[in-house]
């Protein structure tokens, strides 16, 4: 890649980060769903170590901190998200237990069996569900938990349009029983699965984006990255409203054996 491309690429990434920085969440979810997933995880204490991978600005991380004991590290690729994450932790007086660190979920520097919980909402798709579960397992203590949300099919078959949309975006999307079997195969006992309610996508993700999209297009008129980002986000929201009975995010909670 030459310098010119690098700088264009960086500009694109900065623009995309700016768009999502303005949102409370960078993916579908809710405090209630985070608390529900946490309710399947027992045995945490003040010394427990929790890693939240692909934490974004930390909306769910702060909910974990407010509802569970332990020390929590949020990891995200993008420095601007981590800055906001740490500012959010400071605002909530959680700095003694919650820390955001720049890093990648595919090159984590934890030692073997160091962690009690690995959390990841709307982010494991970046390296893939199976790869993430397999690679992260070594960092967990035996009996430790993994809790992730992952795009999943609700039915055995679905209309062609949504099938194509998802297999282009994330070919690893699969049915809940298949994902659960993958979790088992990766060395975890599947403890619970539940579907994220619709409001996690609408009220907490797509609806807040509507005014932000207008503002963004006004701020960057004629900018191709901005325009294609917004076109994609609008199409994604439209697909969701049309086909939400066929897919959604599912929380998968597993225990390392």
Query: Interface residues with ligand SAH (CB under 6 A)?
Result: 25-27, 29, 53-56, 59-60, 75-78, 81, 104-106, 121-123, 126
**Element of type H or E holding 182:** helix 176-185
Question: Which bin fits 68, alpha (ψ -120 to 50), beta or left (φ > 0)?
Answer: beta
Which lies closer to ligand SAH via its Cβ, residue 120 or residue 180? Answer: 120
Find the shortest distance in angstroms from Cβ 24 to ligand SAH. Answer: 8
Q: Which of 45, 91, 92, 89 is nearest to 71 (CA)?
A: 45
Which lies closer to ligand SAH via its Cβ, residue 128 or residue 163? Answer: 128
At CA 41, angle to CA 38 and CA 46, rounded to 5? 90
Which lies closer to ligand SAH via its Cβ, residue 36 or residue 158? Answer: 36
Beta pairing partners, 102: 76
Q: Which DSSP string do the residues of 73-115 spell out, in sequence order?
A: EEEES-HHHHHHHHHHHHHTT-TTTEEEEE--TTS--PPTT-E
At CA 72, angle to CA 67 and CA 75, rounded to 5? 125
Find the shortest distance in angstroms from Cβ 172 to ligand SAH. Answer: 15
Which lies closer to ligand SAH via its Cβ, residue 163 or residue 236? Answer: 236
**Element of type H or E holding 59:** helix 59-67
Find the shortest distance in angstroms from Cβ 58 to ligand SAH. Answer: 8
Find the shortest distance in angstroms from Cβ 183 to ligand SAH. Answer: 19
Find the shortest distance in angstroms from Cβ 256 to ligand SAH. Answer: 21
Which lies closer to ligand SAH via its Cβ, residue 54 or residue 144? Answer: 54
Which lies closer to ligand SAH via its Cβ, residue 135 or residue 163? Answer: 135
Which lies closer to ligand SAH via its Cβ, residue 55 or residue 140? Answer: 55
Find the shortest distance in angstroms from Cβ 23 to ligand SAH. Answer: 8
Q: Tokens 């993430």 label which residue?
A: 132
Find the shortest distance in angstroms from Cβ 160 to ligand SAH. Answer: 28
Q: Which of 90, 85, 80 is nearest to 60 (CA)?
A: 85
Per-residue CA distances from 42 to 102, 138, 192 (Å): 28, 20, 13
């Amino acid at each position: 890649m030459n310098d010119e491309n690098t700088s264009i690429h960086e500009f694109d990434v900065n623009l995309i980060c700016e768009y999502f920085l303005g949102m409370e969440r960078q993916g579908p979810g809710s405090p209630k769903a985070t608390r529900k997933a946490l309710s399947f995880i027992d045995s945490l204490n003040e010394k427990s170590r929790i890693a939240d991978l692909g934490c974004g600005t930390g909306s769910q991380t702060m909910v974990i901190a407010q509802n569970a004991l332990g020390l929590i590290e949020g990891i995200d690729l993008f420095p601007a998200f981590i800055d906001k994450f740490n500012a959010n932790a400071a605002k909530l007086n959680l700095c003694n237990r919650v820390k955001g660190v720049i890093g990648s979920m595919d090159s984590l520097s934890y030692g073997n069996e160091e962690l009690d919980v690995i959390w990841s909402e709307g982010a494991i798709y970046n390296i893939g569900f199976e790869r993430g579960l397999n690679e992260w397992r070594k960092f967990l203590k035996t009996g430790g938990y993994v809790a992730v949300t992952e795009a999943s099919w609700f039915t055995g078959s679905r209309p062609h349009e949504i099938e194509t949309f998802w297999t282009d975006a994330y070919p690893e999307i699969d049915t809940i029983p298949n994902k659960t079997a993958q979790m088992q195969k990766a060395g975890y006992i599947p403890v619970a699965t539940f579907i994220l309610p619709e409001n996690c996508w609408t009220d907490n993700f797509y609806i807040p984006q509507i005014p932000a999209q207008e503002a963004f297009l006004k701020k960057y008129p004629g900018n191709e990255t901005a325009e294609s980002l917004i076109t994609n986000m609008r199409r994604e929201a439209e697909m969701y409203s049309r086909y939400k009975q066929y897919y959604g995010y599912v929380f998968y909670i597993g225990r390392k054996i």
